[in-house]
A = this chain, B = another copy of it.
């Protein structure tokens, strides 16, 4: 393996194998017989061993050292940059540590699920202590003297730093808190949707929603899963959703959210298929797509007007009229759970996790003190007490599977979505009229053109700046939220 073409042929095989490994996870969440789990664990372990060997192969390192980037075009240089980054990160972590982490996260996930079901943080604490210790070891291996948290963050948002995210959150917090308080204290409170909405009809409408946001069913499919997700790249990008008969918005907005993720993957230039450029460039940019589909477009005045009409056709008369439906979709509510939070409060949930996980990785917060730290912070931020661990620090799976540094990318995605929507609204006149007809095509085409087709060609911040014509900043998101919720709550 001496030339760029040989390297890319090797890489293409690795990418194909990674797709296979990803599809095993999809299968596990949607199709796998219940008692097949022990065998599946061995299958996944074997695939990971193959992938790890390919990603750390000495001949790969030799090729990366031998190939001169100067001889390559922009795409070639971007591919080299991404392969080099992955090679460096994978080889820096000792094999034994990587294997220990894989074993531990597999065990920790099971213990987390049990502890959550029992609302018993103490039962999860020992394995989380082991896990934080190993993650700090891994971070030290990756950081090479630099900041530990930043080293972990780099897996999800290349180039981002804890300090920069701290600044972002500091700028957001006071205005979000003020908006939240204003909404919850407003004289006018929107009515909530109530009723029973049959699951089968929800799934049918969910399919229609995915299609209306541009999801290509010839290259994907929609199934049910306990936790909605999008899976796969290139020609095979599958999404899942869930149904609750009393809460159809859960199904519809999960579907639109995952459609955003999936359309990003589906719309990447086919020239990048099974190459490092053939994936969304970072978790933050990925989340910007899922969020703008879900919120700025899906929860807009225009689109909810169309959705109200379609829901009445599908489910019959509802307790909320056309006039109140926009409010019902966007209504703020008290609650403990991040994934169920409204647009205004969502980022407050993320900030809490960001601060705590940074302290865990820095070593300034002990796992033993985590539950108390979470609970007192939650009360300070939200004004009411956490009632049980499953509503508190055991609610998310992330830490149990070793995802430290992942949470802030959710908020970064929201910030990016704010910037993109501002730029989009500047470019596309009278978008609301389209959305009132359930037509998202001008918006999604704009995103496809500006963001999605590029895959991993540009770095995340560079991509958003190119797309928007200005550097990413928090103001557009905050302005959008303030204007939207002032309208709903008549502030």
Residue positions of A touching B, CB distance < 8 A = 12-13, 16-17, 19-20, 23-24, 27, 31-40, 42-43, 45-47, 49-50, 216-221, 234-236, 238, 273-274
Contact = CB atoms under 8 A, between A and B. Distances in A.
Given A35-B219, A219-B35, A50 B273 contact: no
Given A42-B12, A43-B19, A46-B20, A31 B235 contact: no
| Copies of this protein in the complex | 2
A235 B35 contact: yes
Contacts of A47: 17, 20
Contact of A36 (B16, B37, B39, B219): B219
Given A16-B46, A42-B16, A50-B50, A33 B236 contact: yes
A13 B46 CA distance: 5
Instruction: Name which of A12, A39, A220, A274 has the most chain B CB atoms within 10 A of its CB.
Output: A39
Contacts of A236: 32-33, 36, 39-40
Contact of A23 (B27, B49, B217, B219): B27
Contact of A221 (B31, B37, B43, B219): B31
Given A50-B50, A219-B36, A16 B31 contact: no
Contacts of A46: 13, 16-17, 20
Given A27-B27, A42-B274, A221-B31, A235 B36 contact: yes
A374 B348 CA distance: 75
Given A235-B38, A236-B39, A274-B39, A221 B33 contact: yes
Nearest to A12: B42
Contact of A39 (B24, B39, B235): B235
A46 B16 CA distance: 7
25 contacts: A12-B42, A16-B42, A16-B43, A16-B45, A17-B43, A17-B50, A20-B47, A23-B27, A31-B31, A33-B219, A33-B220, A33-B221, A33-B236, A35-B216, A35-B218, A35-B235, A36-B219, A37-B235, A39-B234, A39-B235, A39-B273, A39-B274, A40-B236, A42-B274, A50-B50
Contact of A20 (B24, B35, B36): B24
Nearest to A23: B27
Nearest to A234: B39
Given A39-B236, A39-B273, A236-B39, A218 B20 contact: no
Contacts of A42: 12, 16, 274
| Interface pairs A-B: 3 shortest CB-CB | A36-B236, A16-B46, A39-B235
A49 B9 CA distance: 13
Contacts of A50: 17, 50
Contacts of A45: 13, 16
A28 B88 CA distance: 35
Nearest to A13: B46
A141 B33 CA distance: 41
A35 B220 CA distance: 9
Contact of A33 (B17, B19, B31, B218): B218
A36 B231 CA distance: 14
A33 B219 CA distance: 5
Interface centre among A36, A47, A218 (most CB of B within 10 A): A36
A14 to B, nearest CB: 8
Contacts of A38: 235
Given A20-B24, A33-B217, 18 more contacts: A13-B46, A16-B42, A16-B43, A16-B45, A16-B46, A17-B47, A17-B50, A19-B39, A20-B46, A23-B24, A31-B221, A33-B221, A33-B238, A35-B216, A35-B218, A39-B236, A39-B273, A42-B274
Contacts of A216: 35
A274 to B, nearest CB: 6
Given A33-B218, A33-B221, A20 B20 contact: yes
